[in-house]
Amino acid sequence: MRTATKYIHAGVHPDPATGAIMTPIYQTSTFVQDSPGKHKGYEYARTHNPTRSQLQNALAAAENGQYGISFGSGLAATDTLMKLFKPGDEILSTNDLYGGTYRLMRKVWEDYGLKFRFVDMSDVAGISRHLTSATKMIWLETPTNPLIRIIDIRACAAIAKPAGILLAVDNTFASPYLQNPLDLGADIVMHSATKYIGGHSDVVHGCVITNNKQIADQLYFLQNACGAVPGPQDCFLLLRGLKTLHVRMQRHCENGEKVAHFLRRHPRVAKVHWCGFEDHPNHRIAKEQMRGFGGMMSFELKDNTVEAAIKVLSSTQIFACAESLGGVESLIGHPASMTHASIPREERIANGLVDSLIRLSVGIEDVNDLIEDLKQAIG
C-alpha cells in the first residue's frame, strides 16, 4: 500500500455495527460484560477504547511499525518511555532538543536516579566516546528543535545495536511522511502528534511506535497502569488529521523552501537554519533519510538582540506568535523565551541557540502572503 493510500486506509475499517466510514467516537468510560471477564474485548476505557485502538493501528502503519501506543501528549509519551529504565541508567541525548524534553529529563527524572548527558550528535563519529556501561538509550531529534540540525539515524543505529543500547527518535519535526526512523534502524519512534499528524492546532496528543514486542508490551502495561491516555474525541481528531498528512506536508515543504530562500536573501538576516540548503552541514544525510526538507526553520537577525527579535515577532500579521508547530497556519516563536525557556541560558548559548533566534513553522497558506508578511515584519 503506497503512502497516500496508507494514511487514509491502513489500520482502520468501517464501523461493523453501522458501516460508518469514519471511526466513531466511543465516548464511554466502561463497557458492559456478559459476566465477569466475558466481554467483547473492552472492559474499561483507560485500558482500551475502540477509537484509540484504531488510531494506534493507523499510527503504527504510518511509521511502518507493528505497535502503536497513544498518550495524552508528546511529553506523556516521553515520560512513559523513561519508565522503561531504572535508577543509575543513563540516556545519551542530543544537545539541541525541545525544551520540554530537557525539562522532563533534568527536572523530573534525574530526581528519580536516571542520568542524562547532552552531546552534539551532528557528527555521529563522536557519539561512541560518550557511551558508558550505564548507557541504555540514545535519544535524538532530527531535524532538531530549533536549530534544524540533522543526525544520521542509520549511523546511530549501527553504534547502538552492537552495544545493546536502544535508539529512540523524536520524529515530530519530520512527521511520518518525510521520515521513518524504524526503517533506518531505530527501535522506538516518538511523536508529539499535536503537531504535524494532528495538523490543525486543535488537539494535544503523543504516541510511540515500535516493532519490538517486548517494548510494546511494557508500554501498553504502563499506558494502562499510569493512565496518561488520550480521550476518544482526541483520537478521532488524530485519525482525521492523519488522512490529510501527505497533502499538507507537500505544501509545507513547498512553502518552506520558498520562505527559507527568501530569508537567506534578506539583507537584515544573518543566518537561516534549514536542512534543504545544499551547504547545510548534513544536507546529504537529510536528503538520504528524508523525502523532503519540511516547513520548520529558524533564523538569526544581523541585529543580534532580543529587542530586534521581539519586534519582528510582534509585527507579523499572518504568522501568529504562538507555541507549537505543524498546523496548517503559520506560527512564529522565540525559543529563548518560549519553547526553550526551561534550558539554562548558558547551555542554550553554548549549543548555538542565541537569544535573538526566531523559529518558524511555515503553514500551507499562499506562500506569497507569507513572504510579504515576513518582509514587512523584518523591515
What residues does each domain of the chain span?
3-242, 245-378
- CA-to-CA distance for 103 and 378, rounded, in angstroms? 32
C-alpha span between 15 and 24 (Å, rounded): 7
Amino acid at 15: D
pLDDT in tens, 194-204: 999 999 999 99
Distances (CA, A) of 233 to 27, 51, 328, 345: 8, 8, 20, 39
Q: In this structure, which amino acid lies at residue 131? A: L
What is the model's pLDDT at position 74? 98
Q: Which three-class secondary structure state does DSSP give residue 186?
A: coil
Q: CA–CA separation, 30 vs 21, rounded Å?
A: 24
Catalytic residue, chosen from 170, 187, 355, 373, is 170
Contact 226, 43 (CB under 8 A): no
CATH architecture of the domain formed by 3-242 = 3-Layer(aba) Sandwich (3.40)
Average pLDDT score over residue span 368-375: 98
pLDDT value of position 17: 87
Q: How far is CA 113 from the centre of its chain?
A: 26
- Burial code (b: 16+ CB inside 10 Å, e: under 16) for 99-109 equals bbbbebbbeeb
Q: Which tens digits make up the pLDDT trace of 72-119?
A: 999 999 999 999 999 999 999 999 999 999 999 999 999 999 999 999
Q: Is 115 a catalytic residue?
A: no
Can 348 be counted among the known catalytic residues? no
Report pLDDT for 342.
Answer: 87
DSSP letter at 41? S
From CA 79, how far away is CA 222, in angstroms rounded?
10
Tell me if the pTM is above 0.85. yes
CB-CB contact of 180 with 160 (8 Å): no
Tell whether the model's pLDDT for residue 311 goes beyond 90: yes
C-alpha cell at 304: 543580534
The answer on pLDDT for 44 being more than 90 is yes
Q: 7, 26, 98, 196: which one is catalytic?
A: 98
Active site residue 170: yes
Q: Is the pLDDT of residue 188 over 90?
A: yes
Could you tell me where the DSSP H helices lie in the chain?
Answer: 3-9, 50-62, 74-82, 99-103, 153-160, 175-178, 213-226, 232-242, 245-265, 283-289, 306-313, 345-350, 367-378
H or E segment and range at residue 228? none
245-378: CATH, from 3.40.1190.20, 3.40.50.460, 3.40.50.300, 3.90.1150.10: 3.90.1150.10
Q: What is the mean pLDDT of residues 341-353?
A: 89
For residue 303, indicate whether it is catalytic.
Answer: no
Q: Which helix (H) or strand (E) holds 168?
A: strand 166-170
Question: What is the dihedral sign for C-alpha 169, 129, 98, 277?
Answer: negative
pLDDT at 37: 84
Rounded mean pLDDT, 151-167: 98
State the average pLDDT over residues 340-354.
89
C-alpha cell at 297: 526553520
Q: What is the C-alpha to C-alpha distance for residues 164 and 195, in angstroms, rounded to an integer?
A: 31
Q: Which residues of 140-163 are buried (b: 16+ CB within 10 A; e: fewer)?
A: bbbbbbbbbbbbbbebbbebbeee
* Cross-sheet strand order for the sheet of 166-170: 67-71, 206-210, 188-191, 166-170, 135-141, 90-94, 115-119
User: Which has the closest alpha carbon to 333: 363, 307, 312?
Assistant: 312
Catalytic residue among 136, 195, 248, 359: 195
Instruction: Render 281-329 in DSSP notation, one character per residue.
Output: TTHHHHHHH-SS--SEEEEEESS-SHHHHHHHHTT-SSSEE-S---SSS
Taking all residues of the chain, what is their mean pLDDT, rounded to a whole number? 96
Q: 366 by DSSP, 3-state: which? A: coil
